Amino acid sequence: MMLRIALWLIDLAVTVLPESLIYRAARALAPLAMPLAERRRQTVRNNIQRLQPSWEPPELDRATRGVFQETAMYYVDTALLPRHEPQQLLRDRLQVEGLETLQEAVDGGRGVILVGAHLSNPEVAFQALVALEIDAIALVEPLADPRIMSAMRRRRERWGLPFVGVSMEGVKQAITHLQKGGLVAILTDRDLQGHGVCVPFMSRLAQFPTGAVDLALRTDAALVLGWAVREHDLRFRVHFEAADPLLRSDNRANDIRANLANVMRQLESPIAAHCQQWRMFESPWAPCRDTTYHEGGAARPLSGTPR
């Protein structure tokens, strides 16, 4: 209920207030939600402490507040983005790094899976795809409240990029799209459905969904990582980089785990460096046995041969 009201207020505000004032209000009001969501605040703080174990309590508290502020600004983004043409956004608001990596993968013609995380606003990177006229769809996990899911879908699809819910039908659509040489964007750091596997992340085992690497193994699509970091208001730095080569063996379950471990190893650095923008309100470590991961704290290939 609170989120639906907040979305309605944001939609109203963008029609009468300047953009800068709306973001300023979002940053000021977001911390007021922290006492009302104490359990989530504690989870966020614990997540940040895992990412930055050397930080003192004041630093952890500031970063925790930053996550709530970033979440509020994310919802403001969803109302403001449709007001900007994709080409204008790419030219004036996005600093893109590694674009040649993404373009090379697209030009390869075997489909591309763009893997990201809930870091700042990953959908800003999707806007760049629209501006670049890349044939793309996004696979998203369904929200608990279908009315919020419907409202978010309407907001997102104003940008011209189809968002498909994760389901049997959605996965079939993604496979067909990849086989035609298209791009499928997936976030891989939040396992809402609980069907993921535990892999090394920040020197401990954490659970993440397997959809991205499973699709890559099934379709032989290229795997590219992409994330966005907010610089200020609706200005972002977007980064693309190639994922490690896929590992393949005669053990599919082991291949999925090994490749997911490699993906999460590559995402460790940007998530830790910008943990105050990691909008993660669940603990990925909680579902796994709480143990340190040896071998130097980095994910190593479990089996298989690079291809």
- Written as one string, the DSSP assignment of 39-97 is HHHHHHHHHHHHH-TT--HHHHHHHHHHHHHHHHHHHHHHHHGGGS-HHHHHHHTEEEE
- Predicted pLDDT of residue 57: 97
Alpha-carbon distance of 163 to 124, in angstroms, equals 14
pLDDT score for 170: 86
| pLDDT tens-digit profile, the chain (307 residues) | 566 667 667 777 877 889 999 999 999 999 999 999 999 999 999 999 999 999 999 999 999 999 999 999 998 988 888 778 888 888 888 999 999 999 999 999 999 999 999 999 988 877 778 788 899 998 887 666 666 667 666 666 666 677 787 888 888 999 999 999 999 999 999 998 888 999 999 999 999 999 999 999 999 999 999 999 999 998 999 999 999 999 999 999 999 999 999 999 999 999 999 999 999 999 999 999 755 544 444 333 343 444 4
152 within 8 A of 78, measured Cβ to Cβ = yes
**In 10 A of CB 286, how many CB atoms?**
12
Token digits of residue 120 = 């700042």
Going from the C-alpha of 181 to that of each of 40, 188, 240, 247, 304, the distances in angstroms are: 40, 21, 18, 21, 26
Amino acid of residue 224: V
Kindly report the pTM of this predicted structure: 0.88
Q: Which of 238, 281, 276 shows the shortest CA–CA distance to 116?
A: 238
Backbone phi and psi for residue 302, each to the nearest 5 degrees, phi listed first:
-85, -35
pLDDT at 1: 55
Segment 50-57 long-range contacts (CB within 8 Å, at least 24 positions apart): 50/202, 50/204, 50/285, 51/202, 51/271, 51/272, 51/275, 51/278, 52/272, 52/275
Nearest to 71 by CA among 213, 190, 211, 183: 190
Q: Is 255 helix (H, G, I), strand (E, B) or coil?
A: helix
Residue 247 β-bridge partners:
306
pLDDT score at 300? 39
Rounded Cα distance between 212 and 117, Å, is 12
Cβ neighbourhood burial of 106 (10 Å; 0-12, 13-18, 19+): buried
Q: What is the pLDDT of residue 307?
A: 43
Residue 56: burial class (beta carbons within 10 Å; 0-12, 13-18, 19+): exposed
